Amino acid sequence: MEQYHFIIQADRCIECYSCSASCYQEHRSAQGDLPRRKIQHRTGDPNYPVYLSMSCNHCRNPVCVTICPNNNYTKRRDGIVVHDDTHCEGCKLCVEACPFDAPQLNPITGKVDKCHFCYERLSEGLAPVCVANCPTDALNYAKLSDIVAVSERYSGNDVPISRFTSPAIIIKKQTESKQHFL
Amino acid sequence: MKTLQDFLLSFPFKHVNPITPVGAELINYDSISSKPFDTGTSSDILVYLPYVNENRKRLSDDDVLQIMQLPQVVGVLIYYPRDLPIREQLKEIYELFKVPVVHLTYPLKETVLHEKASSNYRLIQDTHGTTIDELFQRSLSIRTAMAQPVTVMDQNFKSVTRPYEPEASSDWMQFLIQSRSKWLQLYYFHPERFVYEAGNQSTTLSCYPVYVQEEIRYFLITPKTDVEWYGRLLEYYALLLSLVSQQEEKVDELHLTFKSHFLHDLLYNNFKSEQALLEQAATWGWNLNEPNELVVIRVAAGENSQHLLHEGWRTELFDKLLKRFRQDHPTGMIEPFQNDIVLILRMGLSGRLKEYLQKVITRYMEDSEGIIIKAGIGKCYPKTKELNKSYQEAMMALKLGHEWSRENNVFHIEDLGVLRLLFYLNQDHLVEFSSSYLQPLIDSDQQHQTDYLETLKQWIIHDTSVQDTAEAMHFHPNTLRKRLQKVNNLLGVDIYNHEDFVNISIAVKIHTIDFFQTNVKNLS
């Protein structure tokens, strides 16, 4: 079966936070909600900082699914991991366990919220809001086979990222730092 | 002029059962009559009789014998919707008069209405609700009508039709058995060539290919014949085989898709309620009402044996394993899923499940050199809706157990101990803890390729036995002692001290979980 993947072209990211801002605008529904997408600074060599626009990577073996005591997480047939907060008690187990910091606790509602790949937009034929608003095309998405070997997905990628949950993400190799002008 | 052969070719194929040979010569007739004794002798007639008439009187072999003695009778059609009880007697009568007898399972008068659209009507009738196995068995009727062997072979040149009894040890069967290896060698990859070269075989053949989705799936063969109506009959039979197998393959594909959707929904918690899950499982014939254990079986080629394995080894092994598991657990749910095999078995096996899996896996690994088979088992949850957790745990057991086991191929999530706990904790804290202990070793390994971390890991796996570790790593025990001393110096601890050993051991385990995270740095 095929599942949705985020594709990140690391050398195109200019750390403009458009993805984060648009996500916040689209999905903020309660006081205390946080943007579901964040830009993380990953670095091996300090001369070449890597900006990764990270959110839920809709892993093949999502640790949040295993750990949630109320079984609130489901993975749809298209691979999107969805959290139903109806019975969420805000125990924060998923928040602690996720290697990508995808689930976030809203301190006011006491419930967890996470990226759901804008599946309502996908059903209307639109791209996720973060992808649609990325000015440099650093962020993209595609529906790909989920049986692709891990080594193939990360070919040429030197970005440090946890892989034990088999995240549905492709990070294109950072070649050299570039100066972008908008 | 009308012929019996034309009549038979216009009648729905599934309803025609020749009891005697129809013969190569065309049999002309002027009319079809149900009252042969009332017609004159000047015109040839086909006699059509129901086996049970309006007065509920059954046709006897004497009745047929009398009819056959009439000079104007050229053939007999008997209608009866089930198996004809006087079949054998009719065969004996045929030997006396050589008048062909055909059993029809569909009444004649109703087909006359469809005469104008007969070819389409016949095709619809013949394909509607017909299975490929039923069609294979129909080759016997063709064989009877033609009075010569007719065989359907698959792509491996193996007969898929049951041989006609007297033929079982005949020259034809011997010829098929003897030719198989030669045909496999010559034509397996070029099936079209077999069709063209059928006339050049030691027994010259007429071959009709059966295409399914643009490739030859079956061959319909018979000893070479130039009889025109035989050709038309065989061509039509090949067409039916093609249509029905194509239809069955489509249904099978659909069935597989639905099944895989159900499995996905089950293993990723996509059901709204437990009740909905159980109801859908029941439609597939699976009873998931009781607590179940979940196992994931993974098959992979060994590091150095990828190039030694033939194409399709994985499918072959999967089929064998699925067959074995289904045989051993007929009530279990055993299906391939995302490149693995998933077993959902009722809890009864508890305790013995690991032993059973280990036994099966060892047996198949011995048979298939260079192949590694591993199994992960999740916890058994009381609710079926929680099978998704069990699945994730089985996957985790597979991943981590593989890293931390000496010989076993079967890992239960509960055997992982502290590793299981680590998996759920905040990654940043874990990495920080691990790095604070192991950074000197990581740096040394990266800069000088010293492999200290792997050495330490193997030493922990082998319960700190110097002998076993040295053996596993293929070097001398003294080399290992020297390396461990070096590790002690680099880390500034005493790994033989219990407290230090526990800390270092946990740090190494964390490092293994997050192996990829710490192994990538160079961005130049």
The tally of CA atoms less than 13 A away on the side-chain side of residue A127 is 16
Q: Which of B116, B144, B175 is the last residue of a domain?
A: B116
- pLDDT per residue as tens digits for the range B130-153: 999 999 999 999 999 999 999 999
Distance CA B143, CA B159 (A): 14
Helices and strands (H, E) in chain B, number of each type:
21, 15
Note whether residue A84 is domain-resident: yes
* Number of structural domains found in chain A: 1
Helix then strand then coil, % of chain A, to nearest 5: 20, 20, 55
Q: How far is A88 from chain B (nearest CA, A)?
A: 16
Question: Are B415 and B284 in a shared domain?
Answer: yes
Beta pairing partners, B391: none
Torsion sign across C-alpha atoms A174, A176, A177, A179: negative
Residues B138 and B237 in one domain: yes
- pLDDT-derived band of residue B512, with 50, 70 and 90 as boundaries? confident
Whether B138 and B252 map to the same domain: the answer is: yes
A182 falls within a domain: no
SS3 (DSSP) at B406: coil
- Across the interface, whether the CB atoms of B524 and A48 are under 8 A apart is answered yes
Domain extent, residue A99, equals 2-172
Provide the terminal-to-terminal Cα distance of chain B, rounded to the nearest Å.
Answer: 89
The token pair at B363 is: 């047996």
Per the structure, the complete domain to which residue B92 belongs is given by: 1-116
Is residue A180 in a domain?
no
* Predicted pLDDT of residue B407: 66
Counted residue by residue, chain B has a size of: 524
- In the block, tokens 């007739």 appear at B29
User: In what side-by-side order are the strands of the sheet with B215-223?
Assistant: B151-154, B215-223, B205-212
B388 close to B268: Cβ distance less than 8 angstroms: yes
Q: Identify whether A181 is part of a domain.
A: no
Q: Hey, are the CB atoms on B389 and A71 less than 8 Å from each other?
A: yes
Q: Do residues B357 and B482 both lie within one domain?
A: no
- Domain end marker among B370, B388, B422: B422
Residues B262 and B275 in one domain: no
Cβ–Cβ below 8 Å for B424 and A96: yes
Of B296, B276, B249, B37, give the one whose Cα is nearest residue B132.
B249
Q: What pLDDT sits at residue A129?
A: 94
On whether any CB of chain A is under 8 Å from the CB of B388, the answer is: yes
CATH number at residue B473: 1.10.10.2840
Q: pLDDT (tens digit, 9 = 90+) per residue, B306-364?
A: 777 777 888 888 999 999 999 998 888 899 988 899 999 887 655 688 889 999 999 98
Write down the pLDDT at residue B117: 52
**Residues B276, B413 within the same domain:** yes
| Domain containing residue A66: CATH number | 3.30.70.20
Q: Is B329 a member of any domain?
A: yes
ipTM over 0.90: no
Q: Is residue B123 part of a domain?
A: no
Query: Tens of pLDDT along chain A (182 residues)?
Result: 788 999 888 778 888 889 999 998 988 877 777 777 777 766 556 666 677 888 899 988 888 988 898 889 999 989 999 999 888 999 998 998 888 889 999 888 899 999 999 999 999 999 999 999 999 998 999 998 866 555 445 544 456 667 778 888 888 765 655 556 65
Name every chain B residue with its beta carbon within 8 A of the beta carbon of A44: 520-523
Residues B261 and B298 placed together within one structural domain of the fold: no
Record: contact A66-B513, CB cut-off 8 A: no
Indicate left, alpha or beta for B99 from its phi (over 0: left) and psi (-120 to 50: alpha): beta
Contact A73, B267 (CB under 8 A): no
Total domains, chain B: 4
Q: Let me know if residue B443 belongs to a domain.
A: yes
Domain match, B148 and B253 both: yes
- Do the Cβ atoms of A158 and B522 come within 8 Å? yes
Which chain B residues in 91-120 lie under 8 Å from chain A, judged by CB atoms?
Answer: none
Residues of A in contact with B424 (CB under 8 A): 63, 66-67, 93, 96-97
Burial bucket for residue B341 (CB in 10 Å: 0-12, 13-18, 19+): buried
Query: In this structure, which amino acid lies at residue B334?
Result: I
**B520 lies within 8 A of chain A by CB:** yes
* Interchain CB contact of A96 with B (< 8 Å): yes
A160 interaction partners in chain B (CB closer than 8 Å): 516-518, 520-521
| Residue-level pLDDT at B211 | 93
Burial of B323 (0-12, 13-18, 19+ CB in 10 A): exposed
